[in-house]
Structure 1
Amino acid sequence: MVASSVGEIVWVLGIVGWYVIRYPFERRAKRVRVVTNRRSPSEIVGLVSALFGLAILPGFYVATGTPEAADYPARWWAVALGAIIFASALWVFRRSHKELGRNWSITLEIRERHALVSGGPYALVRHPMYTSFMLMGLGQAFLLSNWVAGLAGLIGFAVLFFLRVDKEERMMLENFGPQYRAYMERTKRIIPYLY
């Protein structure tokens, strides 16, 4: 089996794993009443960009091989590194969901009895779910030996992050006030100790 095929298989398994992790939290979240909703057109653009870059475009590439002109030779070391990074992304993704519990939402929402979560991965970064998306995009870049499909995940993540994170932090400041400000002072956004 060639490295490019293994990379594609690992990517598909990673996406399936992502959905398996997310699905039960998505179902549970629907049962908790939303008290504040900050959905906006820019947030929808960010979510669609992330979905397109992390799933739709690379899925199309894996299924069809298009755009073939952007292919480059796959390397076993890159596939191994991509698998480790993607597995790390899934671990952070699951831990983030577990810590958030009933507070989780796919959009900018405050739920009934919403609590500020600062344990687990939230002890190091304020947005570990974005950290997981960044790691997924990076893993995808190593797993898929195609300049377009491989890099689409990082681009999709970046669009989501930059359209949404400031709004999310403003919403949390409005809801939790000084408690969230103190939390911001002791944590980084998405990369522990750096940013």
Structure 2
Amino acid sequence: MTIFTWATIASWVLFCSYWILLRNKTSKNVRERTVRQRYLGPLGYVVIFGLLYLPLFVSGGFFGRILPSNALLQGIGATLCMAGIGICIWARTVLGRNWSGGVTEKHGHELVVKGPYRLVRHPIYSGFLTALAGTCMVTGGLAAMVITFIYTLALSRKLNSEEALLKDLFPGTYEVYQQQTQKLIPFIW
């Protein structure tokens, strides 16, 4: 394993540690999460991380490396991963007690529009996708790229549900925020 691989692993360990540290520091959900909701998230992370790093242990085929093992490509990938995780942590910190793993209303729910939320409406998603893409560049696996693509599609669906909920919770205010702020990529989309 290269220094770039270790940098991505350290970044993801930091991400997971931070999420675990803050897991009980949120406002209570208005509706309780189902058993399915509580266990699907962690299971998803296991699948994603497994497929991201499988090329380190398997050669060839769907699970092997397809990108060249190039130091420049891996360096860019590791930088993207670290930056993405940094954005996730910054956004999660600013979101504070309003964070939820699922699309749900919180008691005392607030619309957060400061910090990274001034630049994009969903910076945790932006950071996570950036970190996934960067890790794919480092590990170079086809399965990693496929799971990143699938995750991106699933996240799009979740993002649309979240936006609908926020419109309901903050009528008028959220629409103004949408007009002033991009969804995932600052100044672009």
TM-score by length of 2: 0.85
Following superposition, the deviation at residue 112 of structure 1 comes to 1.0
Residues 50 and 156, structure 1, Cα contact 8 Å, conserved in 2: no
Distance in 1 of aligned mates of 2:123 and 2:59: 32
* 1:9 corresponding residue in structure 2: 6
* 2:149 corresponding residue in structure 1: 155
What is the letter of the counterpart of residue 139 of structure 2? L
Residues 123 and 184, structure 2, Cα contact 8 Å, conserved in 1: yes
When you count helix as a share of all residues, which structure comes out higher? 1
- Where do 1:34-73 residues align within 5 Å? 34-36=29-31, 47=41, 51=45, 54-62=48-56, 65-66=57-58, 68-69=60-61, 70-72=64-66, 73=68
* 1:178 corresponding residue in structure 2: 172
Residue of structure 1 aligned with 2:115, choices 114, 120, 128: 120
Distance in 2 of aligned mates of 1:35 and 1:161: 22
Deviations 1:20-59 (A, max 9, x none): 2212221212xx32114687x8x89x95795256312224
Following superposition, the deviation at residue 125 of structure 1 comes to 0.6
Residue of structure 1 aligned with 2:160, choices 158, 166, 184: 166
Q: Which moved more, 1:90-99 or 1:155-164?
A: 155-164
Structure 2, unpaired ranges of 5+:
none
Structure 1, unpaired ranges of 5+:
none
Residues 103 and 162, structure 2, Cα contact 8 Å, conserved in 1: yes
- Where do 1:54-133 residues align within 5 Å? 54-62=48-56, 65-66=57-58, 68-69=60-61, 70-72=64-66, 73-133=68-128
Change (3 A) 1:48 1:194: farther
Distance in 2 of aligned mates of 1:13 and 1:162: 27
Following superposition, the deviation at residue 16 of structure 1 comes to 0.5
Residues 5 and 139, structure 2, Cα contact 8 Å, conserved in 1: yes
Distance in 2 of aligned mates of 1:162 and 1:79: 27
Following superposition, the deviation at residue 127 of structure 1 comes to 0.5
Distance in 2 of aligned mates of 1:7 and 1:85: 11
Change (3 A) 1:38 1:159: farther
